[in-house]
Amino acid sequence: MNRKRPGMNIGAAILFGIFGLLFFVLIVRIITIQVTGEAEGRAVAAEAAKKYIKTGVLEAKRGTIFDSNGDPIAEDTASFSLVAILSPTVTSDPDEPKHVVNPKETAKKLSKHIDMSESEIYEQLTPEKEPFQVEFGIAGRDISQQVKKAIEKEDLPGITFIKESKRFYPNGVFSSHLIGFAQKKMLENGDSVTNGMMGIEKSFNDILQGEDGKLQYKSDVWGYILPNAEEHVTPPKDGNNIHLTIDKKIQTFLEDALSSVEKQYKPKKMIAVVADPKTGKILAMGQRPTFHPDTREGLDENWHNEIVETTYEPGSTFKTFSLAAAVEEGVFNPNATYKSGAYKVENVPHPIRDWNNGNGWGTISYLEGVQRSSNVLFADLLESIGQERFKDYLDAFHFGKKTNVGLPNEASGNVLYNYPIERITTIFGQGTTVTALQMIQAETAIANDGKMMRPYVISKIVDPNKDKIVKETKPEVVGNPISKETAKKVREYLASTVTSEHGTGQPFAIDGYDVAGKSGTAQIPDPDGGGYLSSGKDGYLFSFLGMAPADDPQLIVYVAIEQPELKPTEIGSDPVSKVFNPVMQNSLKYLNIKPDENIGLKKIKVPDVSGESIQNAKAKLKELGLKPIVLGKGTRVEKQSPLTEEMVLAGERIILKTDGDVTVPDMKGWSVRDVLKVSNVADLKLNMVGSGYVVSQNVKPNSPFQKGEPLVVNFQTPKEQLNKEVEESGGEEQPLN
């Protein structure tokens, strides 16, 4: 019988003790974890949730911005990023690979669909250190649905897509500074968020943004959903939709006209607004320079919404409201007369001058003064209205106050009205500054029978999750600065600036519609201080504020163009009319406001008066509304210009050469075109010096002139004429019409 050695019993006892102690510690540890729910200071349930409970983000859709007809202007759309999975660990069945197995073939086929060469793609697919997956930079982002489907047809193992939303602007350049743009921003945790960067996208970002939802489910260690696992879904809350008052069709008319004029005249700036005077709705607004909201091309030239944020001196368009004040006060008699040319201000060394170098047009009626845009008339009217009383009208029209249109950074302008000279210059649009929206708001009172409407661009805000209107803007009357009767009279007077032979608004006549409005030529303050820019007729802000139809206006259109490049034969109203006229006419037709067949552009076919007596020829031309100018002392017409059958505007000069000795008329103030008529019809050797309008000629008016002799005519732009006066007198400049 073998006896156990004592050492073996001791070893077994020690082992038993060790294992017993370990088991005890394990039991204590398990009990402790069960009781406290923690291990090493961390919650066990939370750690398990991290490993086995998966969470996915359900992205909210950013709110859509619509036009007044429900067409999208800014919306979220699906885009895809191209991804290539390189790690073979994702492939469980070699017959159905989930990673890229043939980089060369994959590169060859992908190069047909994205903007990368085959070699560049191959380099991406074969890095030195094999990552799990690779992307393809800009060329692989923003893949459209069409391109995605084409790549999927190639059946390339390992090629997949990440779906994401992208902000899309389907109309391209379309009131870009009003709408603004939004772009994605990566957060520190790897998530992305779309934020508005300017315009409505920025100022209404919280309303548009929405709230992301989430999806939770239990999975195994490999990430697969466990059988019968419950899913917990928190649905996303889409952002609210914003409906604007902007009409897509009218905005397109405006953008096309602005682009055309920008290309032809290369102005420094342009702004234009179309509004409904009955409600205050802004139907279109645009500016140049502008930018494309998708590509941001052009954004570096100007971030500001000029129509809302910028103030400027309006020039003679401001006379619209000065005229309204005079009519309301009963001091404007269209048949009363005054002496045009210059107006002396007490204790001011230099007089107020009319825009034609202070020459004026002699003693003319008040109405003709409006038609000719006479500064002296309005200085005279201020005397009758009273300076303090006129300030009441400025306040009543809300100049110097924000319109509260609901857009950020709106400027208020400044009514310069401290000294007598400032009060006089304000009445014809110099010194005092305004915004385009203030001009639109004030014009609604003229167009809407005295009721002044607040302009607005947000029609309503809608919650798409509940299909409920959250906020709606209603038309708001913000004042009654004038009576209905005054508004009607002012429209009649403003319509005559377009139809009268003296009217500065002639270029804005539209076939089939009566237009009422006022043109303006405002000096631009020198940004370096010390007065105004001095750069010829290109150094001005040219504008027109008009409405149609004049008897019951349905639209207001305001256009202002700064420093366009004009030819010597062109005036500032030329580029402005090339925006105003097509936008107004096309918009009226689009709104089904039918033209009046009895209203035309006042164009007249020139009759043939050659061979007729001077007396009969003059009578015939005057009866048609034309202005005959006779060259010579003869009794019969030998030659005429313009020629027979040519179409001209009412009031245009028709040059008649007689069968007697040739004489040259007084051409002071004439345009280049009219001087050329004289030269052509009389066969004169013409030498033109300068540009603009005639200031002098080498031949005494109405004196005999021999065929072939040189006719020297000196021209100056209105700005040059003013500068000359200023240099001679040492005084301050006055604005143009």
Q: How confident is the model at residue 243 (pLDDT cuts 50, 70, 90)?
A: very high
In angstroms, the CA 660 to CA 490 distance is 47
Answer whether 475's CB lies under 8 Å from 277's CB.
no
Bridge partners of residue 448, in order along the sequence: none
Residue 339 pLDDT > 90: yes
CA 435 to chain centre: 13
In angstroms, the CA 475 to CA 459 distance is 10
DSSP H helices, 138-290, are 145-153, 176-179, 199-203, 205-209, 248-265
pLDDT at 220: 47
> Whole-prediction pTM value?
0.76
Q: How confident is the model at residue 645 (pLDDT cuts 50, 70, 90)?
A: confident
CATH class as words, domain 56-244 = alpha beta
Q: How confident is the model at residue 18 (pLDDT cuts 50, 70, 90)?
A: confident
Higher pLDDT, 243 or 59: 243
Mean pLDDT of 95-114: 90
Residue 565 pLDDT > 90: yes
Torsion angle of C-alpha atoms 85, 89, 90, 93, degrees rounded to 10 = 120
pLDDT tens column, 427-475? 999 999 999 999 999 999 999 999 999 999 999 999 999 999 999 999 9
Residue 608 pLDDT > 60: yes
pLDDT tens column, 191-211? 678 899 999 999 999 999 988
Residue 675 pLDDT > 70: yes
∠ CA 442-448-454, nearest 5°, is: 45
Q: Which two tokens stand for residue 465?
A: 């999750």
Which among 79, 175, 176, 316 is annotated as catalytic? 316
CA 215 to chain centre: 43
pLDDT at 225: 45
CB-based contacts of 291: which residues, under 8 Å, 6+ apart? 173, 176, 177, 297, 298, 299, 301, 302
Evaluate whether 248-590 and 603-729 have a shared fold. no
Tell me if residue 316 is catalytic. yes
CATH topology for the 248-590 domain: Beta-lactamase (3.40.710)
CA distances from 68 to 73, 104, 389, 403, 408 (A): 10, 52, 40, 21, 21
Name which of 163-177, 309-323, 698-712, 720-734 the model is least confident about.
720-734
Q: How confident is the model at residue 223 (pLDDT cuts 50, 70, 90)?
A: very low
Residue 226 pLDDT > 50: no
pLDDT at 346: 82
φ, ψ at 588 (rounded to 5°)? -65, -45
pLDDT at 372: 94
CA distances from 168 to 137, 171, 183, 211, 559 (A): 20, 9, 10, 20, 29
pLDDT at 371: 95
Residue 82 pLDDT > 70: yes
Residue whose C-alpha is closest to residue 444's, from 336, 556, 355: 556
CB-based contacts of 456: which residues, under 8 Å, 6+ apart? 245, 280, 281, 282, 405, 406, 473, 476
φ, ψ at 7 (rounded to 5°)? -65, -35
∠ CA 137-141-146, nearest 5°, is: 140
DSSP H helices, 64-117, are 103-110
Higher pLDDT, 215 or 334: 334
The residue extents of the domains of the chain are 56-244, 248-590, 603-729
Answer whether 460's CB lies under 8 Å from 471's CB.
yes
Q: Which two tokens stand for residue 701?
A: 């008016």
Residue 186 pLDDT > 80: no
Q: What is the CATH number of domain 603-729?
A: 3.30.10.20
Name which of 75-84, 329-338, 541-550 the model is least confident about.
75-84
Length of the chain: 737
pLDDT at 705: 77
CB-based contacts of 672: which residues, under 8 Å, 6+ apart? 568, 569, 688, 691, 715
In angstroms, the CA 531 to CA 525 distance is 6
Answer whether 63's CB lies under 8 Å from 238's CB.
yes
In angstroms, the CA 494 to CA 517 distance is 5
